[in-house]
Structure formats: C-alpha cells, structure tokens
Structure 1
Amino acid sequence: MAFRLLSGDLFGIEGREVEVEVDLIPALSSFVISGLPGKGIREARERIRSALENSGFRYPDRHRIVINLAPASWNKDGATFDLPIAISILAASGQIEPEFLAGWAVLGELALDGRVRSVAGCLGIIARLRRSTARSVMVPASNHSLASSVEGIEVVGVSTLQQALEVLRGARTDPPAANPGEAIDPDETFQDLADVRGHAQARRVLEIAATGEHSLLMVGPPGSGKSFLARRLPGLLPPLDRNQQVEVTQIHEVCGDVGRQQLVASRPFRAPHHSVSWAGLIGGGSPPVPGEVTRAHHGVLFLDEFPELARRSLEALREPLEEGAVTISRSGWSRKFPSRFLLIAAMNPCPCGHAMARGAQRCRCSNATLAHYRARISGPILDRVDLHIQIEPISGRQLLDPPDGSLESSSVVRARIEQTRLRARDRGQQGPNRDLEWSDHRRWAPLSGEARQLLLDGQQQGDISTRGLTRWLRLARTIADMRSGEQIESVDLLEALTLRTPSSSLVSLA
C-alpha cells in the first residue's frame, strides 16, 4: 500500500505543491526515486537511512522502497524532501500510524544523526501549501519563526526526526514563537536627508519621487552628489506593510539568506555595478534566479553610470518599468518575477564628465563622442523615466558652513509623504500615483479647465507620446497631492512638465 504526504519545492521565488508517495515491496533491498528527481534528491537514500537508524527507528531492509514525487512533469532538486520521505517510510513500515499524517505537509533536510536542517525558500513553499488541503505544515525549527509569518495555516517547528514523530502523534513540544516573524526597525539602515547641504531642488525632487514612486534620472559631473542623494531615497519611502515584508523576505530567502529569523522591514536598496550582465540585472539561469530588478522589489534600484550599462540590459528595463514584473523564458518553462522598484539612474553629462563643469575644467569630448554617448540611452527608455534633474556641485562654503537647522530630516519628510499618500487612499485610490492609468484620470486626477487646456496644448505642441502624456499627468497628480489639491491645476502641470523634460545636456535624446 502506498502512503502519501504533502510537501513542496521552489521554482524561482514561488512554491510548488509536491506529493511524496512511498511504497514498500518485499524484494531485495533497493531504493528508487521517480518523478524527475535531481542529484540532491537521488543522494537522499544514505541520509535517510542513517537518520532513521540513529534516531532509533528501523530501516526496512529486504524491501524495494519506491518513492514518487508527483507530479512528474517538472524537475525537482534539493534536500527539502528528506523529512517527508523518512516519515512516509516509517508509515509504510508500520512504525507510525498512517492516520496521524492526515492534514499535514512536511519540509526539511535530514542530517545523518536525525537532526532537521533548515531549507531555502520556506516562505514561498508555505504560501503555496496554504492553498492546498494541508491544515498544518511541519518545518525545521530554524525556519519556524520566519515561517510563522505566513497567515492562514498552522506552522510547527521540529529539531529532530524523533521530535517530528512525537508532534505527529499529538505531543506539541514546539510552543509558538512569542513574536513570529517580527520585523526589524527600518530606520536602522538608511542615511539621513538632513546630511544633504544645498541641493534644494534635488531635495524637492526626491520628495516627489518618494511620494508617487516616480523614476528619476540625475545628470551631473563627477562628485556633484548624485550617489549621495540616491542613497537617501529609501529612507523617505513609507515602511513596508506586512504583505510587502513577506514578499521581500521571500526574495531574500531564494537569493541565499537561509535561516533568517525575522521578516525584512527595510526597503531594499540595490546598486549593481554598471558592468552587471543581462542575467545579473534581469534574472536567469536554470533553475531561474532573480536578478537585481527583483531583489529591488518594493525598494530602490540605483543604476549609476547609466549609459555604461550594456544596451541589451538598458532596453530590458522597459518591461519592469511598465509592468512591475519581468518574465524569464527558456525552453520548456517560463517564470514571472516581481520587480516593482523605484528606479534612480545617474550619469555624467559626457564621457569625460565635464560638460556641465564651471571654472578651469572644460569638456574634452568631440561632437561624435557626445552623440555616441547620448545615443546609448534610447528615447523609449528616457520616456519611461518620470523625473529628470541636473545636479550641480555645491560650493565649498555650503559644505563647510554649519547647518542652520532648516534642513529637514528623513523622518520629517517621510511623515509628510505618508500623510500625502493617506489622502490618496482616503479618496479610494489604490497604489501610488505612478500606477495611475489614463482611464483613471477623470476619477483620481481631475483637471481644472485651465490645466486641461494646458495639457492639450502641450501634447499638440510638444510632440508628447501617449505614454509621455500619461506619465506627465501622474506626476502632476503627485505634485497636486503634495499641496493637498483636490484637482490638478496648471501650476502642477507646469512643474511636472519642467521635471519631465530631459536635461539640456541630453535634449537630443527626447
């Protein structure tokens, strides 16, 4: 008689439900696994045998042990199935009553002495098992605190194979965590906006970007403060809500942060080098691994030296900027990764960096060099960037003079941003303004008569695409929200148009 126990594995960042089937057939001793197992699963025999015997259980010699991982339509790998296979063998050999397995799903790797080791991607797997017939999930004790953050299903942690059997028989030796999945304070990691001297316009633009989650391109000479400003943007974004914390932590787990005890509360900030490969930026491999655009999900992706990225990588940003997700397709499979990030790009005005410089330094680039440099960023990519700003170097006096107390800290600006977003939610709008569609503008972004005429004139005279018009309107809605305006006025559209216009050093790209 075959015995079945639910388990799961990971594909990309999402879990998949897997049914472990075990049958014992009297015959010469053998151990067979079917269902497209990978090398890690095929090596499970010796781990399971040693764990059973060292835990005081009997390994069923003189039997052909047949294990099937269903469905058999996809490849499976890893040691996640050690514990469910061992428990199913015990049920098939009569060492635990089969009825105790009803309603359970089990995950865990086994050590040779019977200890249960942590598994990667536990959050994603449990989130999928929550939609299965399982009422409870057994996980390694080291995964328990974090796994308990998934609501809607009971999660029980075990440290050993012996303890797993005791739990199945009803002896709950694992008390629930006092604060399951409690997140850490997000203020611990981000740099303060109060450190920024001068750059009054840049501070205003950062607040607009954080309020509506609008993408931003900063153009300025080396040392003008572009990276300094970008690293302060995550601290302006409102804290992650519970669902966002789970999503971000799920991505962290898949990317190698195994054994984490707390949810990630801080907004991700990713700053890959401009030499990053297409797969490193977008994701890829087999099995698929998230790229930087997914690791920045619900956070900030900072791309310095923007034109120096490979052209293929730059163009690949179109999909995540529009859809908030990337699709990786290979022969036989396709996987969609979430990638809803706030893009902050920075670049020099020319290859030598001195096209905007004042004083003794002068640009040495030829017209052909400038044209080639600017052409590296295509018009469609530039059109998808909401905000464009020139960053001028600050003077030595601004840098050295003591602060006058008028510079607002990140916490003050963030509180104002949260209030602005709250007003948008109070009118029934879901999500930040960057997600507004053109069809939503009458409901969420009404225009005054003067603003409507300005918008129409701008499209007719400015050669603005439909996408550009939509982004112009989204940006104006954010600016209106920041002054508590119920409708968009012409002054909001004018400021939005100014900030939407590419830098004069890049005007040939528009």
Structure 2
Amino acid sequence: MHASVATVAFDGVECRRVDVQVQQLSADNGIFTMVGLADKAVAESRDRVRGAFAGIGLALPSQRIIANLAPADLPKEGSHFDLPIALALLASMGVIPPDALSGWVAIGELGLDGRIAPVGGALPAAMAADGMGLGLICPEANGPEAAWAGDVPVLAPRSLIGLVNHFKGAQVLARPKPGDLRSGDRPPDLREVKGQEGAKRALEIAAAGGHNLLFVGPPGSGKSMMAARLPGLLPPLTSRELLETSMVWSIAGLIERGGLTRDRPFRAPHHSASMAALTGGGHKAKPGEASLAHNGVLFLDELPEYGAQALDSLRQPLETGEIVVARANAHVRYPARFQLVAAMNPCRCGIGGGGKGACGKAPRCQRDYQNRISGPMFDRIDLTVETPPVTAADMALPAPSEGTAEAAARVAEARAMQMARLAKAGVDPETARDQTINARVSGELLDRFAAPDAPGKSLLMRAGERGGMTARGWTRTLRLARTIADLDGSDGVLRRHIAEALIYRRAGFGSGDTAPAGPVTTPVW
C-alpha cells in the first residue's frame, strides 16, 4: 500500500517541500530501502523508525519497504525526516487513516522509545506550511516556537503513540500556545564607563546610524566595556526584524522553549574562530556568527588576531547584508545584516608609540600589527576611535551624570528623524527597508538626504584630494555626517558635521582616507 506525507528540506532560512512516499512491495524479505539523495542522518532514520515502532508495540511489515524522498535531486539533511517517514509508514500499514496526513507537514526526530525529540527549524517549517495551506506536526518541545507562525494549525505530540491516538480519535492534541516574548538580561549601563568621553560620543553616533565602529587603544582602556553597552543604545527589534532573526536562530536550534526576544543579538566570537564559524558552513551549512548577529551587533575583539581569510570573508556581508555558502551541489543563503564593532590594541605589545611605557619598536611594530587588517576591510569601518589609557584621576571621578538611558533617548530621536525623512519623501519603509538607517542609505536617497552645504562639500573634496579617499570612503563619510546632523537636530548636513565625520575616518591605514583635522597622536594612528 502506498502513502505519503509532506515535510521540508532547509535551504538557509527558506524551506523547500519534500514529499515522503512509502510503498510496500510483495517481496517477503523485510528490507527497508531509502532513496532520494539522503545524507547519513536521514539514512539512519530506518533504524530509528524501527526502534520507535518497537517502543510503541508495533513491528515493521515483513514485506519490502521503499521510502522515497521527492524530489530526488534535492539533498536531504538532518534527523527531522524521522517523523514524516514513520507517519507515511503508519498510513501505509493502515494504523492511521491514509487521508489523515494530507493536510500536514511533519518534522521531528524519533527516539527508540517512541518519543519525538526536538529539532531545529520549527519556525521556518511552520511558515512554509502556512504558505502551502497546510498545518505543521512537530515535537512537543518545538510547539511554542511553531505557534509564533500565526494561524497555522500546529500539532505538537510528545510521542508517536500520542499522535496515532489523535488521528484515530482516541485523544485530541490541543494547539500549543506561543512561547514568551521576553527581554534578556538588563544590558550594562554606559554610566559605569569612566573617562573616554570621545569614545562614548562615537558609540552614540554608531548606534544612531547603524555604523561600523573600531576602538583602538591599550589594554584596560575600556574598549570591550563600551562595545558591550552598544545593544542598550539600540531600539528593540521591529516585528519583521524579530521574525527574520528568530528564523535564523531557529535553524541553528538556539530558541529555548519557544521564547523569542526583541533584544537585538550581540555575538562576540573568540578570535580563534574559523571562517566557517563566522560566515556559516560545515557539513550541514549551518548559520555562522555573522548570521546569528542579523539585525544586531557582531563584536570582534582583538581584531588583528583573527585569521586574514576569516576576517576578509565578512567583507561581502558588510556590503550586501547576506552570506552565500557555496557548496558543490547547492548555494545556501543566510541573512547577515549586522553592525560590526571591533576592538584592537595599537600594536602587538599593546602599548603603542606614545606615552609612558611606549613600545620601543614603534612605529614598525604598530604598522606590522595593523597591516594584518586588509585595506578593503578597514575601508568598511565608518568610525575609528582612539581610547587612551584611563588614568587614576579618571577612576577617582564620580560616575558620569549621563548613562545608557539618556544616550538611548537621543539615538531614538535620531532614528525617528531618519524614518520621518523617508515618509516625507514618499518612500515606503517596507520596500526600502535596507535604507531605513543612515548606514545603508545609497544612490538617489543618499544624494537627497545627505548632500552637504557648500562649505561642507568643499571640505570633503579637499579631504578626498589630499587623502586619496575611495568612492566607498566618500559615501560612508556622507552617511556618517548625516547621522551626526541627525543627533544635532539639523535638517541639513553642514560643514561641522562633515568635519567631525572626517575626524573619525582620519586614521585609515588601509583606505588612504585622511582628514584635514590635525595630526594624530601616534606615528600611525
């Protein structure tokens, strides 16, 4: 007897439909054959299904069984194919009505005792099922997560026998409720950072416009402290951003008990992370740290210590907002629209070329250390800020009067100005969503919103001629100046806004950008 049920294969955060077809043949040998370009985990489903059937008191038919995963040319990966294979087999055996599965997509891993174990990707699978006009059958632990997909019907049984009883009418499985929409731990307060007023100003600008930021200073100057406080300055995720981010985390299996959060992600991988760990890949092309930071912050501490290949692999997503993992038989796309914040010492010894305890090998030590970062990579960083050593006098001062709450309020006002500009220009934020913050504005919108006044344009042209500014550097300077003007409450971009933007880009050791803002404090920076 033939039976089938729908499931999905994951292609990044997208889902492609797969039909699991089971056929029993007349041959009396009990062989269980799996076809359809299945990987090792899917091929092992035969033994897990056999064990799960024994766990609920069923035996496989003595006939030959063929399970086909169609389409046959689509690679099938993961243990979530266990449940649909088992359900199709149960229908072919007449244990459940054959037509009971026609309205469902099924995912889940089976235990040898018949329990259904949680799997990653429940939220994208539920969204895909809704798009097909079907409901979703998933493990009990994934039910609250799948329920976030809207009105899609969801069955979330604990075990295979419970699902059988539901389809036979012996019990009714209620639709699970969505998990909690929670907030994470309270972010650390900017008031705890003493000194570094210039760096705090840069942090606020970066938050207001979504700009990439690099802190450069000796150990103990507060670089990591300030980076950790950036999420507290950012507005919460919008509903669309929440769904996008949660789908990536669902694929990675990082959503606990179906709970979602509007807090923006903050990912801080160790500098020993490989290129696959940063951008995604591996045997199953899982999302990497850059995708897990989608709509949030990716913090890279000790920037020059990362591998050159791993670091340069971030150049594409910094421009396009997505990562393409190329494989022999497929290209997997993951969203990766993140804000980069990095920190580094000025040289290998960490001291730099000036002040007490200066490096004796300066400036060569600094130049060699900084050259580990490629010019194109550095050209994508909008603000480079020095963090001088924090003195005992700084530490003895009382806590600053302003903290995260005050800075976040100014950031919110600046972002509101950006949205108001789009509305006034008749631009729909949904269709131009990649340009809703200044760091992503480009083309005609950049010309309209960030055109400087005559003195500002003259200053920018002189800076470009003196420093050999790249086209990317020119664009990013305008974007940065636009954000500074927003924080200033100015409708137009003035000369002082261009001047401050150029100061933040003056240390371009890779890009060649130079600002007419005076000498830097060390031979290189």
Change in CA separation of 1:156 and 1:414 when aligned onto 2, cut-off 3 Å:
farther
Query: Is 1:414 matched with 2:408?
Result: yes
After TM superposition, give the deviation of residue 261 of structure 1 in Å. Answer: 2.4
- Indicate the SS of the match to 2:80: coil
Determine if the alignment matches structure 1 residue 364 to structure 2 residue 360.
yes
Kept in 2, the 8 Å contact 1:480–1:492? The answer is yes
User: How does 1:5-16 map onto structure 2 within 5 Å?
Assistant: 5-16=5-16
| Alignment check: 8 A CA contact 2:382 2:480 kept | yes
Aligned to 2:337: 340
User: What corresponds to 2:211 in structure 1?
Assistant: 214
- SS of the residue corresponding to residue 472 of structure 1 reads helix
Tell me by how many angstroms 1:433 deviates. 0.8
The answer to whether the Cα contact below 8 Å between 1:351 and 1:365 also exists between their aligned partners in 2 is no
Change in 2 beyond 3 A, CA 1:331/1:41:
closer
CA distance in 2, matches of 1:118, 1:506: 55
Residue matched to 1:501: 506
- Write the letter of the residue equivalent to 1:412: E
Contact 1:13 1:254 (8 Å CA) reproduced: yes
Give the match for residue 486 of structure 2.
Answer: 481
| Distance across 2 between alignment mates of 1:149 and 1:381 | 38
Question: Residue 245 of structure 1 is aligned with which of 237, 242, 247?
Answer: 242
1:69-80 aligned within 5 A: 69-80=69-80
Range moving further from structure 2, 35-44 or 233-242: 35-44
CA distance in 1 between partners of 2:290 and 2:23 (Å): 44
Structure 1 residues 173 and 482, CA gap change in structure 2 (3 angstroms): farther
* Equivalent position amino acid for 2:227 in 1: A
Contact 2:211 2:439 in 1 (8 A): yes
Cα deviation for residue 488 of structure 1 reads 1.3
Structure 1 pair 351/505, CA: closer, same or farther in 2 (3 Å)? farther
Contact map agreement 1:119 1:258 (CA 8 A) in 2: no
Contact 1:219 1:349 in 2 (8 A): yes
1:80 aligns to what SS in structure 2? helix
Output the CA distance in 1 between the equivalents of 2:385 and 2:156.
52
Q: Take 2:61 and 2:216, find their aligned partners in 1: how far apart are those partners?
A: 71
Structure 1 CA distance for aligned equivalents of residues 226 and 200 of structure 2? 8
Q: Please state if 1:424 is matched with 2:422.
A: no
TM-superposed deviation, 1:310: 2.0
Query: Within the alignment, does 1:147 sit opposite 2:146 as a pair?
Result: yes
Give the secondary structure class of the aligned counterpart of 2:148. Answer: coil
- Paired position in structure 2 for 1:37: 38
| Paired residue secondary structure (1:224) | coil
- In structure 2, relative to structure 1, the CA distance for the partners of 1:203 and 1:369 (3 Å cut) is closer
Partner of 1:184: 182
Contact 2:183 2:261 (C-alpha < 8 Å) held by counterparts? no
Question: What is the aligned residue count?
Answer: 502
Deviation at 1:256, TM superposition (A): 4.5
Q: Distance in 2 between matches of 1:184 and 1:460?
A: 51
**336-345 or 45-54, which deviates more:** 45-54
Change (3 A) 1:88 1:169: same
1:391 Cα deviation (Å)? 0.5
Offset, 1:209: 0.4
> Do 1:438 and 1:470's aligned partners in 2 also have CA atoms closer than 8 Å?
no
**Distance across 2 between alignment mates of 1:505 and 1:24:** 79
Structure 1 residue 458: deviation in Å?
Answer: 3.6
* TM-score scaled by length of structure 1: 0.91
TM-score, normalised with respect to structure 2: 0.88
Partners of 1:167 and 1:210 in 2: how far apart? Answer: 51
Alignment of 1:83-482 (within 5 A): 83-132=83-132, 134-151=133-150, 153-168=152-167, 173-178=172-177, 180-186=178-184, 188-257=185-254, 260-359=257-356, 361-403=357-399, 406-428=400-422, 430=433, 431-482=436-487
Q: Distance in 2 between matches of 1:447 and 1:170?
A: 71
8 A Cα contact 1:55 1:113, kept in partner: yes
Alpha carbons of structure 1 residues 113 and 368: separation in structure 2 relative to 1, 3 Å: closer
Shift of 1:142: 0.7
Q: CA offsets, 1:192-246, max 9 Å, x none?
A: 1111112111111111101111001111112111111111112111112233333
Q: Is 2:80–2:119's contact at 8 Å kept on the other side of the alignment?
A: yes
The 2-side partners of 1:119 and 1:45 are apart by: 18
Aligned to 1:68: 68
Q: Helix, strand or coil for the counterpart of 2:138?
A: strand
* 485-494 vs 274-283, greater mean Cα deviation: 274-283
Instruction: Render the CA deviation track for 1:364-421: whole Å, top value 9, x for unaligned.
Output: 1154433322322222222111001111122212212332xx5323233223312321
Task: Provide closer, same or farther for how the CA distance between residues 505 and 293 of structure 1 changes in structure 2, counting only shifts above 3 A.
Answer: farther
Q: Relative to structure 1, is the Cα distance of residues 181 and 487 closer, same or farther in structure 2, using a 3 angstrom cutoff?
A: farther
Shift of 1:159: 1.4
Do the aligned residues in 2 keep the contact of 1:221 with 1:357 (CA within 8 Å)?
Answer: no
**CA deviation vs aligned residue, 1:164-213 (integer Å, no higher than 9, x gap):** 234446788343445x1332214x24211111112111111111101111
Preserved contact between residue 118 and residue 258 of structure 1 (Cα < 8 Å): no
Alignment-mate amino acid for residue 142 of structure 1: A
Per the alignment, in what secondary structure is the counterpart of residue 239 of structure 1? coil
Higher deviation after alignment, 255-264 or 107-116: 255-264
Residues of 2 paired with 1:442 and 1:507: CA distance?
A: 36
SS of equivalent to 1:285? coil
Q: Which amino acid aligns with 1:20?
A: V
Residue aligning to 2:516: none
Q: Is the 8 A contact 2:11 2:333 kept in 1?
A: no
CA distance in structure 2 between the partners assigned to 1:170 and 1:451 by the alignment:
75
Q: Structure 1 residues 193 and 212 mapped into 2: Cα distance closer, same or farther (>3 Å)?
A: same
Secondary structure of the residue aligned to 1:371 is helix
Equivalent residue number for residue 50 of structure 2: 49
For the 8 Å contact 1:118–1:259, the answer to whether it is kept is: no
Measured in 2, the distance between the counterparts of 1:336 and 1:254 equals 12
Deviation at 1:494, TM superposition (A): 1.3
Q: 1:445 to 1:169 in 2, by over 3 A?
A: farther
After TM superposition, the structure 1 stretch with the greater mean CA deviation from structure 2, 281-290 or 194-203, is: 281-290
Partners of 2:225 and 2:72 in 1: how far apart?
A: 51
Between the aligned partners of 2:305 and 2:192, the Cα distance in structure 1 is: 29
Q: Distance in 1 between matches of 2:373 and 2:114?
A: 56
Q: Once structures 1 and 2 are overlaid, which stretch shifts more, 196-205 or 166-175?
A: 166-175
Gaps of 5+ in 2: 423-428, 509-519
Unaligned runs of 5+ in 1: none
Change (3 A) 1:117 1:276: closer
Deviation at 1:259, TM superposition (A): 5.0
Q: How far 1:298 moved relative to its partner?
A: 1.9
Equivalent residue letter for 2:410:
R
Seq. identity, %? 37
Q: How many Å separate the matches in 1 of 2:443 and 2:523?
A: 26
Deviating more after overlay: 69-78 vs 490-499: 69-78
Q: Which amino acid aligns with 1:241?
A: T
| Post-superposition CA distance 1:283-317 (Å, at most 9, x none) | 22222132222222222222222222222223222
Which amino acid in 2 is paired with 1:212?
A: G
